[in-house]
Amino acid sequence: MGSGETMGKPKGNVRAMLVIALAFVVALGVLVACGQAASQLEPGEQVVGQVASVDGSTLQLAPGHMEDDEFERSGDAAITVDLSKAHIVSDAGEELEPDGIATDDLITLVALEDGATDITVARDAETVAAEQGSAKTDLSEAGTSIGRQFRSRAEDESALRVSARDVILVDCAVEQWGEPSDLSKARLFGLDSALLVSRGGGLVMDGGSVTSAADGAAGVFAYGEGSEAVLNKTEVVTTKSSAPAVVASAQGTLALNGALLTTSGTESPAIRATARGEVSVASGELVSNGTDSPVLQVTSAFTAEGAKLTAAHAEALVLAGSASASFSACSIASSMDTGRGEHAPVNVQGILVFGERSAARQTSTLALSGGSLTNNSGDLIFVTNVTADITLDGVRVQNADANAALLRVAANDGSIGWGEAGANGGSATLTCVHQQLSGDVVVDRLSRATVHLTENSRLEGAINLERPGEDDPGSLTVIVEPGCTWKLTADCSITELENHGTVNFNGHTLTLADGSVLGG
């Protein structure tokens, strides 16, 4: 019996080990079934979902889709999100901390590199309505108004709100004098805008005018998915600071046809497109007269054809983050103030492309075809802390500042939140198509750039990379396609030359990263 007892113990242990192993396999299966980490998603992959749980540092997201304004879970496994690597904003564009996300919130997640994510939190209708304040007149039913006047002098009250579809205004006047009590709510939600289109409203305005004479009060503000405004030959004027002429935000859309926009105050762009809002322009004139007031500020999407854009004291165009802007046959002019002392800008330029986070995680796209681009002070284009894809196709370019660059790609000191100093260089690709250019390209040791000449393009100027140190990422490549010409105007230093066309050294030398020296 002793022998039996000795042999029985191992059998019991084996059974116990089998039970433990089986439990481990089951547990592992449960863990696998529970879902995947956001880091397993492909960069650029987008997921819409509802927050199943959130504990401050980790979020469980149940994927799904919207159906008739209701969210339906797909049944797919939940996704685990590391909030320490997340950039979180509301659909109005406001920056949020992890504690700004709650269970059952609807969010859109975009996967980035290294497990990082962009998260956009949808605000519920009641919250948005409270942030937008009241309206002196609310057009909540379809209909046509001819020659009416809409006015407000009250704080936190829009002169007119459109919350119904198929609203038509013909030769009407909208006037706003009341100021918002909270400038951030005015910027994010359209509080106190003269004409607010929200709650899925749809407006067509033929002729007429919109006027704002209050600090922080936009002229026309289209907010929220499904909210649309079309302005046909309408004049929009704002006279005070922080008062853009028109804004599209939180997936709202604006279409301007032959409109005249004019702003006079500081920090008052003619057009702002943000938080997935979209603006399109066909002809018309867009003018910003104030300091720090570009014609266009865009973080989302913008298109223009046949329009005239003029900035009297600022850049003409500002693209931030993952913006997209395209221009066809437009006339664009800028004259940025240099500023003094603490008000001096990071750089002086006609077009600014920048990011507030890692340059590798944001790409802005700028395309100009035909028309003209005139800059009267500073660099023509400045790229910092962002990846920029820039195309010039047959544009008449004039940069009046002889001491400035055609394109400058460089880091900044990080003092205003454009990345971390020492790690916030830019990355740019400049593609020239049927393009004639004169001017220099300057790339610092923390930045990367490619200059690509195609379709009989010609560039006359110096292209230089500040020599990077051993650990610096700086690089500069020049590609000259058949039929294209690069004429040097000074000795140049770049990383690589890919020449299928003509390089006219013009008596100068070109030094490459491998130490070879061409020309001379």
User: Are 235 and 256 contacting, i.e. CB atoms less than 8 angstroms apart?
Assistant: no
Confidence of residue 114 (pLDDT cuts 50, 70, 90): confident
**Strand (E) or helix (H) holding 326:** strand 324-328
The whole-number pLDDT of residue 61 equals 93
Query: What distances in angstroms separate CA 445 from CA 219, 289, 497, 508, 511, one per listed residue?
Result: 43, 36, 18, 22, 16
Q: Give 58-80 pLDDT, tens digit per residue.
A: 999 999 987 766 788 887 889 99
Domain positions in the chain are 37-122, 133-422
Q: Which CATH class is domain 37-122?
A: mainly beta
The whole-number pLDDT of residue 35 equals 58
* CA nearest neighbour of 298 among 249, 257, 260: 249
How many Cα atoms are found within 13 Å in the side-chain-facing hemisphere of 314?
Answer: 25
Q: Which residue has the higher pLDDT, 28 or 79?
A: 79
Q: Give 432-454 pLDDT, tens digit per residue.
A: 999 999 999 999 999 999 999 99
Q: Give 342-377 pLDDT, tens digit per residue.
A: 556 789 999 999 998 654 568 999 999 999 999 999
* Other C-beta atoms lying within 10 Å of the C-beta of residue 19: 10
Confidence of residue 91 (pLDDT cuts 50, 70, 90): confident
Taking residues 204-212, what's their average pLDDT?
Answer: 98
Q: Which residue has the higher pLDDT, 85 or 197?
A: 197
Q: What percent of the chain has pLDDT over 70?
A: 91
Q: What share of the chain is helix, strand, coil (3-state, %, to 5)?
A: 15, 45, 40
Alpha helices in 190-327 (DSSP H): none
Q: What percent of the chain has pLDDT over 90?
A: 72
